[in-house]
Structure 1
Amino acid sequence: MDPKLTERVKLTQNKLRRRTLSAIFQEFDYKMMKLERSKREEKYLKMSETPFSFFRGSAYLFYFDVSREWFPYHTPVNRPTWIQGDLHFENFGAFRNEQGTLVYDVNDFDEGYLGSYLYDLLRMSVSIALVGRLKGLMHDSQISSIEAYLQAYSKQMRRFVKGKDDPATYAIDVDQAEGPVKKLLKKLQKRKDQHFLEKVTALVQEHRQFAATDEIVPPTDEERAVLLEAWPVYLTTVAADDAEELRHFQVKDIAVKHGSGTASIGLDRFYVLIEAGEEEQGGDDIVLEVKEVRVPVPAYFMPYDETFWSVFEHQGKRVTMTQKAMHHEADPYLGWLSIGERQFYVRERSPYKKRLKLDSFETAGDLLSVTTSMGKLTAKLHARADADVAQGILAYHSEVEIVKAMGNDEDAFCASIAGWAVSYADRVEQDYALFTEWLGGRKKQSH
């Protein structure tokens, strides 16, 4: 082909894709999220750091693309799974469960929804490829890391179907963990219960309150008033009704939290300090996080389910029930409330919450070890979720439907998804280049 014609084709392709990116960002960030310009700039600045950061902050673009592609491994439309909805490498981490055990698991459920299990696997597989590239891994090592994840998922799901493991009790704690995950959990064992409390609060005349920082600031009088007004509704969602429980949940201080996440920029987030106990100087106080949440991104691309929305019309309830469904011992502080027309969920801000840092992966073997653990946990999420949502949402066992959809040729399943994921990671890198170019144009227009 004539080189000039080839160049023209490439320019046209890029022009059309850039228009797609611009239209999707405009639709979701401006029209749907209603992000003011400063918040959009803050979000886009975070997204511009790396292709992986861009991928994290553009779930709507991923679903726009992937929901239009054909894959042979989807479950039937009438047999959806309760999916996490935004599964990527940094939505796994360590925390302490309700029984006080340190575990490694998924720790973000804001995008939980009903859909094919495959969307979680596809999004997670692309994120593994992008993380691998950040670590300098070549193509074959990226494929190996993704296949380790998918094989672990497939094998664990088949164990659940055969009754060899129980998704209701399956967990990865320090005894079951390996490699970097085990190191992380062992390190956290030395952390004290008061670690986070002491980090974000201070004693003022023997009363504990939040310490102001760049990310933690005092609320306005109006913010404090509307949150306290909504607090009784939250208490009903955690069944706190007798005098002792009400004293436990007594609000001691409130702060506004800034600077967390990428996709959640522009959503309000509060820290609430509650009494929790009678220890002197508030040493046993607990910090709760009150986070605004909206309709999950997958909902714009998945089939509409009237039954689901009739039960989970409140977005805070949806997130709370997603986490309860996917964790066999969920946070006892999970609940929800509304402030005006905005909806929130509440959870404990665990002093043990910590992600694996990417610099903790010293070898390709480290990445293989971690992705294997992530695969097993993803299988647990999908198989576990039908246990707590038997109220007419899922009238069948997800693991059975998923194993049928994956088929008997595990190698072909893993190779097909891994090959697609590495190819889509190329698309993400190309989109990232178009995005940073588009972002530069926006900045010029604003001056």
Structure 2
Amino acid sequence: MKKIALLVASAVLAMHAHAASSRPSWVVNQVYTYNHQFAATNSADLATKMSTMAGSPFLFYRGTDHVFMQDMATLPASLYTSVQTGYTWLGGDTHIGNFGSNRDSSGTQVFAVGDFDEGYLGQYVWDLRRLAVSMILAGRENGIADADITTAINTMVGAYLDKMDAFKGTGDELTFQLKNGNTSGAVQDTISAGASDSRSSLLSKYTQLNGSARVFQTTSQLVPVSGATYTALVNSMSGYINSIAASKQYAASYYTVKDIRQKLGSGVGSLGKLRYYLLLEGPSSSTSDDVIVEMRQSVSGAVATINNGKLPASSYAYNEGNRVARTLKAQLINADVLAGYTSANGMAFFLHEKSPWQQDIDLAALSTAGKPNTAATYLGQALASAHALADQDYDATVVSYSIDKQVTDAVTSKSSFKSELANFAYDYATQVTLDWQAFVAAKNAGTPLY
């Protein structure tokens, strides 16, 4: 009887894992400490970041993955985890705004996870929790009732678990993709919107012809770099090219740098990290097929701060940009062949194509009750696909388990797990709102935030 009572008490604790509390000093210190590392090199983006995060609890949440992961280290764990599921290769910042569509290297437009900066090993439930909380915050911002948000969360979790169960023992994850033909609603719209884009429209947005040469435009968000920086970035290209598998490398002329700009104002959580756009020659000397590569500063991820050593630095050549690139390659089928890494000016960088066909899910389109629920199925399936691909199927020296099997075996009650996750998400959404209020008060008071 005592054992049963203990199990019941543990279940109640896990289902209501977080009693929200006011913690203004701690939150402000967390924001300052994380962002101060970028203050000397990119204070302009940090000012933008603070103003953006003050806009709403959801935007604050997007900019404070490091706070969320600190809480994951101290809050009660899910009942439905195991030692083995702790080796899931996470996205690490899996909120609803980090899903979208893109053209894979085979030319297929697919819907999938779309951000890899925080990639690291940890408990699969951390990605699910972060996604569920974001669904509450974004849903409330869109005027969706909590009852309908709960339905969507349950749908997302159910789709994730069902897909992991379907992957278990089959290898189906190696071919599963969300496309136009097996999706609907806002997700299908996201796929169609991305497929209708073109390279010419992307080049028109960011570049111009200067005589017979194509160069970047200069705007408030596309800023020329110093001569020293330009030279350092060009010199780093050899390291980048060598980071790409020989079988996926193009001719050397493809990577010829034609122009460089610093890109300001992109993203929320990544604001503060140096971001450059490099205009490359591409497959021919024609200006119509030039390629834009994004080169983004990479630092130790938020998951690593609470799970340090789980993913050995030797597995990503001691370069944080490689950790990001490896996460992308692990979690996607037919991944971007331009994904790679290098170092410049003593910093690590992740590089990938600024794709003409990349399209984020339009959160404003999820503004009526049924739409988030429809999208939730594909969010859960996309996350399951990412987790299941990035296990022993990708690199057994990093993850030696079949994660789809381990997760399926760990979740002994789908209904109880759904309740646990939803209860956690609502409790934590309340905490985020309190933290946001403390942040806004500190910002308005002139408290240094970076």
TM-score, normalised on structure 1? 0.90
How far apart, in 2, do the equivalents of 1:309 and 1:142 lie?
A: 42
What number of residue pairs does the alignment pair up?
Answer: 430
The amino acid across from 1:425 in the alignment is A
How far apart, in 1, do the equivalents of 2:312 and 2:21 lie?
A: 41
- Deviations along 1:336-392, one digit per CA (max 9) or x if unpaired, are 110132000110000011112222124211111111101001001111001454251
Q: CA RMSD in A?
A: 2.4
The amino acid across from 2:138 in the alignment is V
Task: Determine the structure 1 residue equivalent to 2:12.
Answer: none
- 2:368 aligned with 1:363, yes or no? yes
How far apart, in 2, do the equivalents of 1:243 and 1:305 lie?
A: 31
Q: Judge conservation of contact 1:215–1:257 (CA < 8 Å) in 2.
A: yes
- 2:281 aligned with 1:275, yes or no? yes
Task: Determine the structure 2 residue equivalent to 1:252.
Answer: 258
How far apart, in 1, do the equivalents of 2:298 and 2:131 lie?
A: 22
Residue among 168, 174, 199 paired with 2:174 = 168
Residue among 396, 399, 420 paired with 2:401 = 396
Q: Judge conservation of contact 2:311–2:398 (CA < 8 Å) in 1.
A: no
- Deviations along 1:109-168, one digit per CA (max 9) or x if unpaired, are 0000010101000000000011110111222112111111101001001000142x6111
Gaps of 5+ in 2: 1-18
Q: Judge conservation of contact 1:29–1:35 (CA < 8 Å) in 2.
A: no
Q: 1:342 to 1:97 in 2, by over 3 A?
A: same
Task: Determine the structure 1 residue equivalent to 2:7.
Answer: none
Gaps of 5+ in 1: 1-12
Structure 1 residues 330-339 or 57-66, which shifts more? Answer: 57-66
| 3-state SS in 2 of match to 1:234 | helix
The amino acid across from 2:343 in the alignment is S
Task: Determine the structure 2 residue equivalent to 1:84.
Answer: 91
Structure 1 residues 188-197 or 135-144, which shifts more? Answer: 188-197
Residue among 294, 303, 307 paired with 1:289 = 294
Task: Determine the structure 1 residue equivalent to 2:228.
Answer: 222
Q: 1:441 to 1:77 in 2, by over 3 A?
A: farther
| Higher RCO (C-alpha 8 Å, min separation 6) | 2
Residue among 416, 420, 423 paired with 1:419 = 423
Residue among 338, 341, 352 paired with 2:343 = 338
Q: 1:400 to 1:209 in 2, by over 3 A?
A: same
How far apart, in 2, do the equivalents of 1:240 and 1:69 lie?
A: 45
Q: 1:135 to 1:186 in 2, by over 3 A?
A: same
- 2:165 aligned with 1:158, yes or no? yes
The amino acid across from 1:96 in the alignment is R
- 2:307 aligned with 1:302, yes or no? yes
- 2:68 aligned with 1:62, yes or no? yes
Deviation at 1:32, TM superposition (A): 8.0
Q: Judge conservation of contact 1:289–1:348 (CA < 8 Å) in 2.
A: yes
Alignment of structure 1 residues 314-393 onto 2, 5 Å: 314-387=319-392, 389-393=394-398
- Deviations along 1:33-74, one digit per CA (max 9) or x if unpaired, are 767765543321110011000000011111122221112122
Alignment of structure 1 residues 39-54 onto 2, 5 Å: 39-54=45-60
| 3-state SS in 2 of match to 1:301 | helix
Task: Determine the structure 1 residue equivalent to 2:214.
Answer: 208
| 3-state SS in 2 of match to 1:272 | strand
Q: 1:345 to 1:191 in 2, by over 3 A?
A: same
Residue among 121, 141, 145 paired with 2:148 = 141
Structure 1 residues 305-314 or 351-360, which shifts more? Answer: 305-314
Q: 1:271 to 1:32 in 2, by over 3 A?
A: closer
Residue among 102, 108, 127 paired with 1:101 = 108
Q: Judge conservation of contact 2:392–2:400 (CA < 8 Å) in 1.
A: no
Q: Judge conservation of contact 1:292–1:345 (CA < 8 Å) in 2.
A: yes
| 3-state SS in 2 of match to 1:254 | strand
Q: Judge conservation of contact 2:104–2:333 (CA < 8 Å) in 1.
A: no
How far apart, in 2, do the equivalents of 1:224 and 1:213 lie?
A: 18
Q: Judge conservation of contact 1:102–1:173 (CA < 8 Å) in 2.
A: yes
Structure 1 residues 154-163 or 233-242, which shifts more? Answer: 233-242
How far apart, in 2, do the equivalents of 1:359 and 1:396 lie?
A: 38
Q: 1:77 to 1:157 in 2, by over 3 A?
A: closer
The amino acid across from 1:294 in the alignment is V
Q: Judge conservation of contact 1:293–1:343 (CA < 8 Å) in 2.
A: yes
How far apart, in 2, do the equivalents of 1:284 and 1:234 lie?
A: 21
Q: Judge conservation of contact 2:149–2:372 (CA < 8 Å) in 1.
A: no
Q: 1:244 to 1:357 in 2, by over 3 A?
A: closer
Q: Judge conservation of contact 2:65–2:93 (CA < 8 Å) in 1.
A: yes
Structure 1 residues 38-47 or 254-263, which shifts more? Answer: 38-47
Deviation at 1:179, TM superposition (A): 0.7
How far apart, in 2, do the equivalents of 1:429 and 1:242 lie?
A: 46
Deviation at 1:23, TM superposition (A): 2.2
Q: Judge conservation of contact 1:270–1:289 (CA < 8 Å) in 2.
A: yes
How far apart, in 1, do the equivalents of 2:417 and 2:390 lie?
A: 23
How far apart, in 1, do the equivalents of 2:249 and 2:70 lie?
A: 50
- 2:245 aligned with 1:236, yes or no? no
Q: Judge conservation of contact 1:319–1:345 (CA < 8 Å) in 2.
A: yes
